[in-house]
Amino acid sequence: MVGVKILGAGKFVPDIIATNDDFAKIVDTNDEWITTRTGIKKRHIANGEPTWYLGAMAAKAAVKNSGVEPEDIGLIIVTTITNDYSTPSISCIIQRELGVKGSMAIDVNCACSGFVYGFDMAKRYLQTDDNLKYALVVSAEELSKITDYTDRSTCVLFGDGAAAVVLEKCENSIYSAYLGADGTGAKFLLAKSYDSHTPFSNDEVKVEDDMPKRDNNCLYQDGRVVYKFATKTLPLACEKSCEMLGITPNDIDCIIPHQANKRIIETAAKNLSLPLERFFLNLEEYGNTSSASVPLALCDAIDTGAIKRGDKVCLVGFGAGLTYGSVIFEY
């Protein structure tokens, strides 16, 4: 079976660290609530650096660790929900920063499932395009840009960061992917973009939409609904990608889930009858960084030796869209 090999991984997080006690100074919250309800202790927050900068720094680290020459990268996929520009794409800017010329550059917006989608897209390109040697997948997020720091129910959750991997095709390996979305859940987790406007008419066309009305561009979440979705989806996505390989979740050496909430991961572990130790967690350090959370955890799992070459690894994402996805590959 054709799989994919991670040749190098890299990450970058900004210097500012906001602790739970820092949040207690700006909203009505406390370390005890945040720790017991989420497991989060800190998040890194950008201080003026654009999202592309975080992504480019992570990408440079991944390329350096891979030993691959930048000019041999034929595909750059960048996942984000916090792009600095509507256009150009962040993938073009990161391509510029790496000094890569002529590669494909694609942006992916799948929220917290972004890295899993991007990883699978890269694998499919590598598998079907014989001229493509290496692909770079980067996830870069600055959720601080779209966080309402007066809303205690969301602001304590999110952080900024980026991580990246360089991939090549790998013959005689294992690989499966289970990806999907449920757009009927779009209204449960969102951040509003631009309104339509024209100088040529005063009559606004009204279109019925069941999205919650928002007067800012900050993240809105119906936490309880998304929590239910997450606790159901995480184990399901893991089981489905196992089924495709004829294995069970117990055969996976390490599950690297989206780092939204420790309780979600504990519930998933219970539902899969797996010990929590089988899951890699670093949300205590970074909070929820949307699409950057899975690759940040993947990087830390590699750096700490939590995953070793030959291990079966399952990445699982879930989030706005609602989107979800899991991939299993051999590290």
Closest chain position to ligand UT7 (CB) = 223
Residues 258, 261, 282, 314: which is the catalytic one?
Answer: 258
Return the residues of window 213-232 that contact ligand UT7 according to CB under 6 A. 223-224, 226-227, 230
Residue 99's region, left for phi above 0, alpha for psi from -120 to 50, else beta, is: left
Asked if 299 is an active-site residue, the reply is: no
The residue from 20, 83, 92, 112 that is catalytic is 112
Q: Contact between 264 and ligand UT7 (CB under 6 A)?
A: yes
Q: From start to end of the chain, where are the E strands?
A: 3-12, 16-19, 42-45, 73-79, 104-108, 134-142, 160-170, 175-181, 189-190, 220-221, 254-257, 312-319, 323-330
44 part of the active site: no
Q: Which residues have C-beta within 8 Å of that of residue 153, sequence separation ≥ 6?
A: 221, 223
User: Residues of 28-55 as b/e, b for ≥16 C-beta within 10 angstroms?
Assistant: ebeeeebeeebbbbbbbbbeeebbbbbb
Which C-beta is closer to ligand UT7: that of 33 or that of 149?
Answer: 33
Tokens 């599950």 sit at which residue?
A: 255
**What's the closest the beta carbon of residue 174 comes to ligand UT7, in angstroms?**
28
- For residue 288, indicate whether it is catalytic: yes
Give 100 or 255: the residue with its C-beta nearer to ligand UT7.
255
Catalytic residue among 44, 170, 288, 314: 288
Output the 3-class SS for 105-118.
EEEECCHHHHHHHH
Residues 130-189 that bind ligand UT7 (CB under 6 A): 152-153, 156
In the bound complex, what is the minimum distance in angstroms from residue 281's beta carbon to ligand UT7? 14
Q: Would you state the structure tokens that stand for residue 77, as one six-digit string?
A: 């996929």
33 forms part of the interface with ligand UT7 (CB under 6 A): yes
In the complex with ligand UT7, which residue's Cβ is closer, 95 or 154? 154
Q: Name the token pair of 331.
A: 């590290």
List C-alpha distances in Å: 256 to 2, 296, 312. 21, 10, 11
**Which residue from 57, 72, 31, 67 is spatially nearest to 292, judged by alpha carbons?**
57
Which residue stretch of 120-128, 170-178, 257-265, 277-285 sits at the interface with ligand UT7 (rule: CB under 6 A)? 257-265
Q: Show contacts with ligand UT7 in window 299-328 (CB under 6 A).
A: 319
Residues 6 or more apart whose Cβ sits within 8 Å of residue 198: none
Nearer to ligand UT7, 88 or 223 (CB): 223
Give the nearest distance from C-beta 112 to ligand UT7 in angstroms.
4
Name the site residues for ligand UT7 (rule: CB under 6 A).
29, 33-34, 37-38, 112, 152-153, 156, 223-224, 226-227, 230, 260-261, 264, 288, 319
Report, as residue numbers or ranges, the catalytic residues.
Answer: 112, 258, 288
